[in-house]
Amino acid sequence: MGIKILSAGLLGLEAERIEVEACFGGGDMGVFTIVGLPDKSVSEARERVRSAINSIGFRFPRRKVVVNLAPADFKKYGSAYDLPVAVSILSNIYKFREEVESSLFVGELALNGDLRAINGILSIVSFAKNIGIKNVFLPSQNSLEARLIDGINIFPIKNLKGLIDFLLGKKKINQEQGSINILVEKNNVFDFSHIRGQAQTKRALEIAVSGSHNVLMFGPPGSGKTILAKSVISIMPDFVLEEVLEVTKIYSISGKLEKNGIICSRPFRAPHHTASAPAIIGGGTWPRPGEISLAHRGVLFLDELPEFSRGILENLRQPLEDGVINISRTAGNISFPAKFMLLAAMNPCPCGYFGDKEKECICSSGQLNNYRKKISGPIKDRIDIHIKVPRLNFEELINKKEEENSEEIGRRVLLSRELQLERFRPYNIFNNSEMNSELVKKFCYLDKNCLSFLKKAIKKLDLSARAYFKILKVSRTIADLRQDEKISIDDIAEALFYHSGV
């Protein structure tokens, strides 16, 4: 019996401890069995491991080989177990260095023994650190991503032969320390200075980005809703390190990381309304993050909101409220983070011209009602800011007045965000929109005049308790943009204006 080799398997966004052990026995010569609830891709590791070991100059045992992946009640998916399985088998034949028992191994093997990148490496390395493992052996293609976790030794492996020579004490592997500097490069194609007019909409989007509030823009075709949405990223502040780790983890397990291995800029996801529920919400046989999780800490843009299926829109309720999506499967419940800023756009009616000054609407009252019913009250109630985007007239289009650029707006947003980061440091949240009811009571204090004003408005507009808290959060953000700890009546009035609805 060889030694136990430590590896890890993914369950949602987190990793679980997997112990790999191999033994040789009598019976049928050359039989190679993997047990421990493996899926098809893990079972196929038998041929990859056998070929890789033979290809690097070692001989695969000509005896019955049994490899156990423990715990047996945890379903094993993917090809990341190839490397620990190979090391476990060879540990029965050769005496390896002592470090092997206190190290973690992950990686897919090619038939010639080369290592291939795997998904979810950031979650795995983070798990290794949490359980006190100091050394992680992984594919060299994953090393940059792995180095985001400080205080751990990363051993990038290109080929199984190099690893085995190292474990036998014949060769060295260049060790890398966790911890790297994050360099954020902004390359914004869209800028608010490119958009004529729409001062009120730009103001609403500035408030929304400052506090990460959800927005619904409604207006006729050609009014600029889409370009306004695409310009939002240009005024968003840079990631802090905690956000980089959160978002990179999601993209890593989704297999969507680029070559540099790190997500350094805020995501902007714009799924088409024909996309399926698993693609947007998340899911699949073995659940993967959907668009709402890929938009975590960034923007989820839903253009033509009423065209999305009712089921998808209703499934947004939980993530809009809690910032997380729970997906239930036979194997258990899996949760993915989904703290995104929802930015939605829609026409006021099916033809697009209801209320337009230039073009007459041709929709019947029945069509209008059916169109608006596509977005339920609970979904509308979860949107903080509703803003009308009117079509510009000819004079506004040819106006040569210089528009405020994204850099100037972004500076105000950044100052507001810095206030929020400092305010919420003890509470492990980042933005005003993330406040729970207790934090709203603590940080959204209203004097008698403000309280009286808001009470009258709530009663007159017949607003829900959720709407009350949304209005307070937006008011807090407006005050933060003024760099004022005190919420004024004007702040509340502006927040009420934006919550008026479609």
Mark out the alpha helices in 272-383 (DSSP H runs).
277-281, 291-294, 310-315, 317-322, 365-373, 377-381
Residue 429 tokens read as: 């949240």
Residue 54 tokens read as: 């033979």
The mean per-residue pLDDT over the stretch 155-174 comes to 92
**Predicted local confidence at residue 99, as pLDDT:** 84
In terms of DSSP bridges, do strands 215-218 and 268-269 run parallel, antiparallel, or are they unpaired? unpaired
The rounded distance, in Å, linking the Cα atoms of 423 and 432 is 9
pLDDT digits (tens, 9 = 90+) for 212-260: 999 999 988 888 899 999 999 999 998 888 888 999 999 999 988 876 6
Of the pLDDT bands very low, low, confident and very high (cuts 50, 70, 90), residue 175 is confident
**Predicted local confidence at residue 87, as pLDDT:** 96
The rounded distance, in Å, linking the Cα atoms of 389 and 391 is 7
The rounded distance, in Å, linking the Cα atoms of 110 and 160 is 9
**Predicted local confidence at residue 356, as pLDDT:** 80
How large a percentage of the chain has pLDDT more than 70?
A: 94
Exposed / middle / buried, residue 240 (Cβ in 10 Å: 0-12, 13-18, 19+)? middle
Of the pLDDT bands very low, low, confident and very high (cuts 50, 70, 90), residue 396 is low
How many angstroms from the chain centroid is the CA of residue 4?
Answer: 34
**Predicted local confidence at residue 332, as pLDDT:** 67
Residue 456 clears pLDDT 50, i.e. is over it: yes
C-alpha dihedral over 297, 237, 347, 477, to 10 degrees?
Answer: 90
Of the pLDDT bands very low, low, confident and very high (cuts 50, 70, 90), residue 305 is very high
Of the pLDDT bands very low, low, confident and very high (cuts 50, 70, 90), residue 486 is very high
The mean per-residue pLDDT over the stretch 88-116 comes to 93
- Is residue 352 classed as helix, strand or coil in its secondary structure? coil
List own/partner pairs for 12-16 with CB under 8 A and 24 or more apart.
Answer: 12/287, 12/334, 12/335, 12/336, 13/123, 13/249, 13/250, 13/253, 13/289, 13/335, 13/336, 13/337, 14/123, 14/127, 15/120, 15/123, 15/124, 15/126, 15/127, 16/74, 16/127
Of the pLDDT bands very low, low, confident and very high (cuts 50, 70, 90), residue 502 is very low
- DSSP state at residue 488: P
pLDDT digits (tens, 9 = 90+) for 120-164: 999 999 999 999 999 999 999 999 899 889 889 999 999 999 999
Give the global pTM: 0.88
For residue 76, list its beta bridge partners: 38
| Inter-CA distances, 324 with 145, 203, 307, 318, Å | 24, 28, 24, 7
CA dihedral sign, ordered 22, 27, 32, 34:
negative
268, containing H or E segment:
strand 268-269
The mean per-residue pLDDT over the stretch 260-284 comes to 89
Pair 273, 375: CB distance under 8 Å: no
How many angstroms from the chain centroid is the CA of residue 429?
Answer: 15
Residue 469 CB contacts under 8 Å (≥ 6 apart), including other chains: 437, 440
The rounded distance, in Å, linking the Cα atoms of 236 and 244 is 14
Name the residue with higher pLDDT: 268 or 224.
268
**Predicted local confidence at residue 258, as pLDDT:** 75
The mean per-residue pLDDT over the stretch 335-361 comes to 91
The rounded distance, in Å, linking the Cα atoms of 297 and 385 is 18
Phi, psi of 220 (to 5 degrees): -70, 160
The rounded distance, in Å, linking the Cα atoms of 359 and 367 is 18
- Is residue 208 classed as helix, strand or coil in its secondary structure? helix
Pair 183, 263: CB distance under 8 Å: no
Q: How many CB atoms lie within 10 A of CB 72?
A: 11
pLDDT digits (tens, 9 = 90+) for 357-379: 888 899 999 999 999 889 998 89
In terms of DSSP bridges, do strands 385-388 and 64-70 run parallel, antiparallel, or are they unpaired? unpaired
Report which residue type is found at 20: V
| Inter-CA distances, 185 with 86, 270, 502, Å | 40, 21, 37
Residue 170 clears pLDDT 50, i.e. is over it: yes
Residue 455 clears pLDDT 70, i.e. is over it: yes
Residue 204: which of 498, 502, 454, 499 has the closest Cα? 498
pLDDT digits (tens, 9 = 90+) for 11-69: 889 999 999 999 988 766 778 999 998 888 888 899 999 999 999 999 898 889 999 99
Residue 180 clears pLDDT 60, i.e. is over it: no
Rounded mean pLDDT of the chain?
A: 90
Ordered structural domains, the chain, with CATH: 5-177 (3.30.230.10), 192-423 (3.40.50.300), 435-502 (no CATH)
Phi, psi of 9 (to 5 degrees): -120, 155
Residue 220 tokens read as: 């006729």
Residue 1 clears pLDDT 80, i.e. is over it: no
Pair 136, 125: CB distance under 8 Å: yes
Residue 168: which of 95, 92, 86 has the closest Cα? 95
Q: Which of 32-36, 206-210, 222-226, 319-323 has the lowest mean pLDDT?
A: 222-226
The rounded distance, in Å, linking the Cα atoms of 452 and 431 is 26
**Predicted local confidence at residue 37, as pLDDT:** 85
The mean per-residue pLDDT over the stretch 280-297 comes to 90
How large a percentage of the chain has pLDDT more than 90?
A: 64
**Predicted local confidence at residue 262, as pLDDT:** 83
**Predicted local confidence at residue 151, as pLDDT:** 87
Pair 104, 4: CB distance under 8 Å: no
